[in-house]
Amino acid sequence: MNEQFSRQDRAATETPTTHFGFQTVSESEKAGKVAGVFHSVASRYDIMNDLMSGGLHRIWKAFTITRAAIRPGMKVLDIAGGTGDLASAFAKRAGPQGEVWLTDINSSMLGVGRDRLLDKGQVLPVAVCDAEHLPFPDQYFDRVSVAFGLRNMTHKDAALAEMRRVLKPGGKLLVLEFSRIAKPLAPAYDWYSFNILPWLGQKVAGDAESYRYLAESIRMHPDQDTLAEMLRTAGLERVQYFNLTAGLVALHEGVRLD
């Protein structure tokens, strides 16, 4: 009996853990660590994206914008929107009758994005918010997007469920994220990720560790088929994905039908 209670007591006091790159950390600790990464890199985020991807991130985002098929008057939510690339493009297509929200859990990233939009003459609603607890009504948006942000979320299933919740029936979710590159290219990609990325991070952003985390977080993120199944489990239908640059990145789509 005492042994049974002892096991129950240990289970009750165990702290839930998750991954931060290749490290195992408590769930409460991960949020702070991810925040630290993006506070650190916010001011150099765009130039590092260009350097790391050779400018390919612009092509990946352009494809996402095309697939989003934003029409005038639509309501759009961009989650983990960072420096505002997608939100800016969506707002142009939604027009003055539309409503496009730029959101991010990281205030430093959101500040950079807001300022960039203002410099372009675009005034959009912005909000610091957690994708796992979105502060929006049910069935409010025609489109929800998240680009290179899902892999940093602790409870991806909860975040995907929230994204579905705020979509209108017929609305589409778009998830652009690093994925599994074709196997023949994997060795070269691994060498680049764990050698060149931290070096670039140190030289350009003064932060090698954040870019080492980037490489690790990509390896810990679900592959294409697993993520597609997660979208289905969240209640999305017509789920499909598009491999971009040999699977280095994938765009997943899902539609809320009811």
Q: Are residues 238 and 196 in the same domain?
A: no
Rounded CA-CA distance 89/93 in Å is 7
Give the per-residue pLDDT at 151: 93
Determine whether the annotation assigns residue 104 to a binding site: yes
Give the per-residue pLDDT at 39: 63
Q: Are residues 125 and 235 in the same domain?
A: yes
**For residue 233, is it within any domain?**
yes
**For residue 76, is it within any domain?**
yes
Give the per-residue pLDDT at 214: 87
**For residue 145, is it within any domain?**
yes
Q: Are residues 192 and 101 in the same domain?
A: no
Q: Are residues 148 and 168 in the same domain?
A: yes
For the chain, 258 residues long, the average pLDDT of each consecutive 10-residue run is 47 64 67 63 76 92 98 98 94 98 92 92 95 97 97 95 98 97 96 92 84 89 97 98 98 97
How far from 238 is each of 135, 223, 235, CA to CA, in Å? 26, 18, 10
Angle between helices 107-119 and 27-41 (to 10 degrees): 40
Rounded CA-CA distance 94/100 in Å is 8
Q: Are residues 201 and 87 in the same domain?
A: no
Rounded CA-CA distance 196/200 in Å is 6
Q: Are residues 93 and 201 in the same domain?
A: no
Q: Are residues 250 and 139 in the same domain?
A: yes
Give the per-residue pLDDT at 211: 85
Determine whether the annotation assigns residue 190 to a binding site: no
Give the per-residue pLDDT at 11: 43
Determine whether the annotation assigns residue 115 to a binding site: no
**For residue 120, is it within any domain?**
yes
- Provide the CATH number for the domain around residue 70: 3.40.50.150
Q: Are residues 119 and 75 in the same domain?
A: yes
Q: Are residues 194 and 86 in the same domain?
A: no
Residues 6+ apart with CB under 8 A from 246: 181, 182, 185
Burial group, residue 70, by CB count within 10 angstroms (0-12, 13-18, 19+) = buried
One-letter amino acid at 131 equals: A
Q: Are residues 99 and 153 in the same domain?
A: yes
**For residue 147, is it within any domain?**
yes
Containing structural domain, residue 99: 52-179+221-257
Q: Are residues 212 and 242 in the same domain?
A: no
**For residue 27, is it within any domain?**
no
Q: Are residues 78 and 95 in the same domain?
A: yes
**For residue 142, is it within any domain?**
yes
The answer to whether the predicted template modeling score (pTM) of the entire model surpasses 0.75 is: yes
Determine whether the annotation assigns residue 138 to a binding site: no
Tally of structural domains, the chain: 2
Give the per-residue pLDDT at 8: 47
**For residue 148, is it within any domain?**
yes
Closest by Cα among 55, 60, 112 to 82: 112
